[in-house]
């Protein structure tokens, strides 16, 4: 079975929050895309938090090696 992604969950939560805020404020055209963007960021963050640190083999930035 394939590994499940947290991105759809985050986007779903974002849509729900954006729609609720849009209905509450009467401006769903603004709050729905804002909710989707926040949900996508949340889903991406959840995916990054669940990944194995051993899989991250790139060496970008960080402190220089001391000799």
pLDDT tens readout for residues 43-62? 999 888 877 666 555 556 66
Which among 40, 41, 47, 36 is positioned nearest to 3, based on CA atoms? 47
66 in a structural domain: no
62 inside domain: no
Residue 3 lies in a domain: no
Instruction: Indicate whether 60 belongs to any domain.
Output: no
Q: What is the mean pLDDT of residues 19-33?
A: 96
Q: Would you state the pLDDT for residue 21?
A: 96
Range of the domain at 22: 9-47
14 part of a folded domain: yes
d(CA 30, CA 38): 13
The answer to whether residue 61 sits within a structural domain is no
Residue 35 lies in a domain: yes
Decide if 39 contacts 7 (C-beta within 8 A).
Answer: no
Confidence at 33, pLDDT banded by 50, 70, 90: very high
The pTM for the full model equals 0.67
The band of 1, judged by pLDDT with boundaries at 50, 70 and 90, is: very low
pLDDT for res 63: 62
- The structural domain count of the chain equals 1
Whether 19 maps to a domain, the answer reads yes
């Amino acid at each position: 079975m394939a590994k499940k992604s947290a991105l759809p969950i985050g986007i779903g939560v974002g849509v729900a929050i954006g729609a609720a805020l849009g209905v509450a404020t009467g401006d769903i055209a603004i709050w729905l895309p804002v909710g989707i963007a926040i949900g996508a960021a949340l889903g991406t963050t959840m995916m990054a938090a669940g990944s194995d640190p051993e899989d991250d083999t790139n060496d970008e930035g960080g402190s220089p090696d001391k000799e």
